[in-house]
Structure 1
Amino acid sequence: MTTSESQHRAETAGPVVRTATGAVRGRHEDSLAVFRGIPFAEPPVGEARFQAPRPARPWSGTREAYAFGPPPPQDLGVQGNAVAAAGDPADDDWLTVNVWTPEADRSAGRPVMVWIYGGSYKMGHAGQPSYDARRIARDGDVVVVTFNYRVGVEGFTHLDGAPANRGLLDQVAALEWVRENIAGFGGDPEQVTVFGESAGAGSVASLLAMPRARGLFRRAVAQSLPGTFFSDELARDMAAALAAEAGLKPTAADLATVDPRQLISAGQALSAKMPGRIDSWGQAAPTVTPFAPIVDGDVLPTTPWQALTAGAARDVDLLVGHNRDEFRLFMAMGGMLGRITDDRLTQTLRLLAPGGEAGERAYRAALPDASPSDLFERVQTDWLFAMPTLHLAEAQLTGGGSAHVYELTLPAPGNGGVLGACHALDIALLFGTYHAVVGGLLFAGAEVSAETQELSALFRRSWTSFARTGDPGWPVYDTEARLVRILDTAPTVTAYPHERRRLLWEGYDFPALPLLGQRLPMGSMSTCTGVPQIRSTS
């Protein structure tokens, strides 16, 4: 074979980039160079099980980076085969990154956007079709990175003999990989934006508060930030209950004797029993998710709201927002639309609204014409997503930083529009993966209209503009005008549109959820209110 033939073969086979641990070969796809499944840490198994991530081992030769790495062990939820199809489930090389970068001039030093997936901290992986980043990279002329991190028992159960928040430590390791290697892919390590949705937004907020993550990114986007952060005591009590489901002690040594995939069933069993622990686990119990970032005083010293108020992220540009009808997705999937009784509403308002019984009365007075089902949805949306998101922006302002705020109000067209502007719709619009999100539920039976495609393009322009300049295209938020971008078929800028409900939460600081008093026997209060016992998709 001649020299020119060898060179042609290498070029057609795919682009090659040398990383700190070895060379990788990607693929040419739609004017992009795409690399998948690059290890950023050792497989967290054997002696590394339940420990902080360790640097990936170097390899010789050129590694083919053609396929996504396998997902971490997890509750499959409604994603089902989408998780299994991502890679060999017997493969332990969970901690991998993927890169989409424009082919033209890969020495340009483009802005870098690092996506963190959601999934209730118990499921999700970077290989999901809904996170195909080609449109963001191509339309915005940016480098996009996605990666896997440990979820569920492996990533967020609080065990003796193991650091807390291992999933967050994986995220820090991935960002360190970006800082060390992204220049070779055409990215600027000084222009990194982290962005994520739901549990991914909770992860972004956590990174803003974590000393270990300082300096690893310049900008941050939190989409539908959940307010659920666990206190150290609550997380340890949950860990003991989870280990008991497997007949074990809540230690890294004990749980390491069980295959990671076998522990999934213990987490599922505990989730099903969580509503019976409302007396000891309080607001966390109805979420049926025993995993969340833990305010352990070390990895995560305080809640994000406390950290930002104290100025921890004043030098980071922040973009936050939520969808108008976040909780309606869960109500639809749980068969609850139009089926909430006034008694159940009362219980939910007293559990979630600030002030207990006073909060119940205040919500009813603020929304006097709302049906029980509508008011149930509103308080769930506010407690879980809307108000934590808005308060993060306000904490950033208090700490000396700035923030831009948005609300998505476009209804999902699927199923006759019954889902409204629900949870996860922003993923479909941002990535342009309309029929891949939530199993296609959001666009089921509906065409993607030209107006929806235009809004999708606006999402990408705004997000990539923010990654490049810190300005998504509308004014910064302040506590006087409270201007936010309303994202719909006719986008506008207006004062935050839910002032009555915002005032109900004024002064609430979203503390880490505590461990309460003596628990009731398992199975008691099994009809308590809260998040339905379904598995979240984002």
Structure 2
Amino acid sequence: MTTAGPCHPVAEAPVVRTAAGAVRGRMEGDLAVFRGIPFAESPVGQGRFGAPKPAQAWDGVRATNAFGPPPPQDASFQSESGELEVPTGDNWLTINVWTPDADAEARRPVMVWIYGGAYKLGHAGSPGYDAQHLARAGDLVVVTFNYRVGIEGFARIDGAPANRGLLDQVAALEWVQENITAFGGDPGQVTVFGESAGAGSIASLLAMPSARGLFRRAIAQSVPGTFFSDELARDIATEIAAEAGLPATAAALSTVAPQSLTSASQVLGARMRQYEGRWGQAASTVTPFSPVVDGEVLPCTPWQALQAGAARDVELLVGHNRDEWRLFLVMGGEVGKIDEKQAAWALRTFGPGPDSERAYGVAFPDASPSELYERVQTDWLFSRPSLNLAEAQISGGGQAHVYELTWSAPGYGGLLGACHGLDVPLLFGTYQADLGQLLFADSGVPAEAEALGVHLRSSWTAFARTGDPGWPTYDTASRQTQVLDVEPQVQPYPEEVSRQLWKGYDFPALPLLN
């Protein structure tokens, strides 16, 4: 100990030796925190658009008190109050650790967070991902990291491996296996968890041969159903490159500054609906990026892989929010403005078959056009893929726990419902950061939100420690589901009407139509 006065002891800054060199973090209360540790070389210069390479070793002790810079991304990376203050630079691939005890003998469970952001934005240093509450709630080690997004991470271009963002995730998990013991973690007790594109990434990791053995458990929150066929992904990348006046090759695109390419993808993203005849459902999403079923990095869709038993040894917790699409309705200013024509378009575009418009009308006879518009997009993009992942896991010989979040966010006068992203501030306890500023706008944080957040942290960390979040596993007979509300309870899966409508739909990789 050093001291700052006779009655105020200050803990020494913790030093840990990693495979690449020693790092010095700092004590934040009872946690040792390390930020911005390189887990791979900066993917610039000769390494641009390449697979990640291990970080080069360094001499001496490296200070790790600040998050690394975010990867190049969509300009919508901002808080509700304006642009986030983030570090700059090209050392995008860094990792962060919160630990109760940086002691190699501690062997605590490890939770590794993978952020969402439509595969086009995100940063582990976002205030909403402050992991201190989780680390304390579970007395475990929490890890977050950056991975490439957008063109740098997911565009399917010639001369570069597919799914570079997913390969970054594998590299981070390999770093955890090699180094986490020194931070007090147990490499045999690693749980990956993530939301939205982070959950889609986890679904991908479950299917990827290169990720086998890197984690024991997985928590997937609101899994998106969008995976691109190789042909579709190449066609989209060709159009993005054309916006920059270049061919879709690694050699050509490497000559352009990353932000210029990000701008090109934003221009295309704003007019994707023009390509509906060519790109089908993909043209009506909010992003031109998704994991690519390329046959090598990602051999098949996650549902196909799990049905074949690829992840039967991984314990899975998966679920979704009741009103996922409501967030996009509110943010797009569309609440109360959806007419029958728009609802009919959504049902035809996103429904599970050619008769979807009639089928949804029969199944939900009292629903308004806006409710049908929202319901089918919630089903197609998040709720059905999430449940299908659980059922595929069971079909392949594994087990899964299922949840649905039904508690409504108080922001915007209660219009948001149990919308997409609500689980993140509840889980991290970061109610006034990032998306939490919208979800809890002008309402403060109700006591029931605090209580539900404590419940989520308890369940998630218990699962990371034991594989049991506190409710029964899901099966196709009783369909027991944890419903997360003011009073959490276990009951048969609540969205049975939608489940029946989508029965037999396998969420194939989205095709190139012509």
Q: TM-score, normalised by structure 1?
A: 0.93
Matching residue's letter, 1:146: T
Work out which of the residue numbers 227, 246, 249 in structure 2 matches 1:248: 246
| 1:30 Cα offset (Å) | 2.0
Gaps of 5+ in 2: 4-8
Gaps of 5+ in 1: 518-538
Work out which of the residue numbers 276, 279, 303 in structure 2 matches 1:278: 276
1:179 counterpart residue number:
177
Matching residue's letter, 2:306: L
The 1:96–1:105 alpha-carbon spacing in structure 2 relative to 1, beyond 3 Å, is: closer
Taking the aligned partners of 1:437 and 1:4, their CA distance within structure 2 comes to: 36
Contact 1:18 1:184 (C-alpha < 8 Å) held by counterparts: yes
1:100 counterpart residue number:
98
2:413 counterpart residue number:
416
Q: What pairs up with 1:250-265 in 2 under 5 angstroms?
A: 250-265=248-263
1:437 counterpart residue number:
434
| 1:86 Cα offset (Å) | 2.2
Give secondary structure in 2 for the equivalent of 1:77.
coil
Q: What pairs up with 1:349-364 in 2 under 5 angstroms?
A: 349-356=347-354, 358-364=355-361
Contact 1:116 1:194 (C-alpha < 8 Å) held by counterparts: yes
Matching residue's letter, 2:30: S
Matching residue's letter, 2:493: Y
| 1:279 Cα offset (Å) | 0.5
Could you list the per-position Cα deviations for residues 77-117 of structure 1 after superposition, in whole angstroms to 9, with x for gaps in the alignment? 152587752212xx110000000000386621000000000
Contact 2:411 2:443 (C-alpha < 8 Å) held by counterparts: yes
Give secondary structure in 1 for the equivalent of 2:252.
helix
Taking the aligned partners of 1:4 and 1:307, their CA distance within structure 2 comes to: 54
Contact 2:77 2:122 (C-alpha < 8 Å) held by counterparts: no
Could you list the per-position Cα deviations for residues 105-161 of structure 1 after superposition, in whole angstroms to 9, with x for gaps in the alignment? 662100000000000000000000000000000111010000000000000000100
Q: What pairs up with 1:196-207 in 2 under 5 angstroms?
A: 196-207=194-205
Q: What pairs up with 1:69-468 in 2 under 5 angstroms?
A: 69-77=68-76, 79=78, 84-88=84-88, 91-103=89-101, 107-356=105-354, 358-438=355-435, 440-468=437-465
Query: Which deviates more, 238-247 or 95-104?
Result: 95-104
Contact 1:198 1:224 (C-alpha < 8 Å) held by counterparts: yes
| 1:11 Cα offset (Å) | 7.5
Could you list the per-position Cα deviations for residues 210-257 of structure 1 after superposition, in whole angstroms to 9, with x for gaps in the alignment? 000000000000000000000000000001000000000000000000
Give secondary structure in 1 for the equivalent of 2:23.
strand
Aligned residue pair count: 509
1:506 counterpart residue number:
503
The 1:435–1:460 alpha-carbon spacing in structure 2 relative to 1, beyond 3 Å, is: same
Give secondary structure in 1 for the equivalent of 2:65.
coil
2:22 counterpart residue number:
23
| 1:13 Cα offset (Å) | 4.7
Contact 1:83 1:124 (C-alpha < 8 Å) held by counterparts: no
Taking the aligned partners of 2:60 and 2:37, their CA distance within structure 1 comes to: 14
Matching residue's letter, 1:64: A
Contact 1:32 1:134 (C-alpha < 8 Å) held by counterparts: yes
Matching residue's letter, 1:213: A
Matching residue's letter, 2:41: E
Query: Which deviates more, 102-111 or 493-502?
Result: 102-111
Contact 2:14 2:102 (C-alpha < 8 Å) held by counterparts: no
Q: What pairs up with 1:526-537 in 2 under 5 angstroms?
A: none
Matching residue's letter, 2:342: R
The 1:319–1:60 alpha-carbon spacing in structure 2 relative to 1, beyond 3 Å, is: same
| 1:16 Cα offset (Å) | 0.3
Matching residue's letter, 1:269: V
Give secondary structure in 1 for the equivalent of 2:271.
helix
Taking the aligned partners of 2:435 and 2:193, their CA distance within structure 1 comes to: 19
Matching residue's letter, 1:87: P
| 1:447 Cα offset (Å) | 2.2
Contact 2:32 2:102 (C-alpha < 8 Å) held by counterparts: no
Contact 1:83 1:128 (C-alpha < 8 Å) held by counterparts: no
Contact 2:411 2:440 (C-alpha < 8 Å) held by counterparts: yes
Matching residue's letter, 1:359: S
Contact 1:71 1:83 (C-alpha < 8 Å) held by counterparts: no
Taking the aligned partners of 2:434 and 2:400, their CA distance within structure 1 comes to: 28
Could you list the per-position Cα deviations for residues 362-401 of structure 1 after superposition, in whole angstroms to 9, with x for gaps in the alignment? 1110000000001110000000000000000000000000
| 1:188 Cα offset (Å) | 0.1
Matching residue's letter, 1:291: F
Give secondary structure in 1 for the equivalent of 2:193.
strand
Taking the aligned partners of 1:133 and 1:118, their CA distance within structure 2 comes to: 15
Contact 2:409 2:417 (C-alpha < 8 Å) held by counterparts: yes
Could you list the per-position Cα deviations for residues 196-222 of structure 1 after superposition, in whole angstroms to 9, with x for gaps in the alignment? 000000000000000000000000000
Taking the aligned partners of 2:350 and 2:102, their CA distance within structure 1 comes to: 51
Taking the aligned partners of 1:106 and 1:452, their CA distance within structure 2 comes to: 36
1:532 counterpart residue number:
none
Taking the aligned partners of 1:4 and 1:201, their CA distance within structure 2 comes to: 43
Matching residue's letter, 1:456: G
Contact 2:481 2:491 (C-alpha < 8 Å) held by counterparts: yes
Contact 2:401 2:474 (C-alpha < 8 Å) held by counterparts: yes
Taking the aligned partners of 1:495 and 1:83, their CA distance within structure 2 comes to: 43
Give secondary structure in 2 for the equivalent of 1:265.
helix
Contact 2:239 2:268 (C-alpha < 8 Å) held by counterparts: yes
Q: TM-score, normalised by structure 2?
A: 0.97
Matching residue's letter, 1:206: S
Contact 1:112 1:192 (C-alpha < 8 Å) held by counterparts: yes
2:6 counterpart residue number:
none
Taking the aligned partners of 2:432 and 2:109, their CA distance within structure 1 comes to: 28
Large movers: runs of 4+ above 4 Å: 10-13, 80-84
Give secondary structure in 2 for the equivalent of 1:172.
helix
2:60 counterpart residue number:
61
Taking the aligned partners of 2:248 and 2:110, their CA distance within structure 1 comes to: 39
Contact 1:78 1:438 (C-alpha < 8 Å) held by counterparts: no
Contact 2:16 2:102 (C-alpha < 8 Å) held by counterparts: no
Contact 1:76 1:83 (C-alpha < 8 Å) held by counterparts: no
1:534 counterpart residue number:
none
Taking the aligned partners of 2:414 and 2:408, their CA distance within structure 1 comes to: 6
The share of aligned pairs that are identical, in percent, is 67
Taking the aligned partners of 1:439 and 1:137, their CA distance within structure 2 comes to: 20
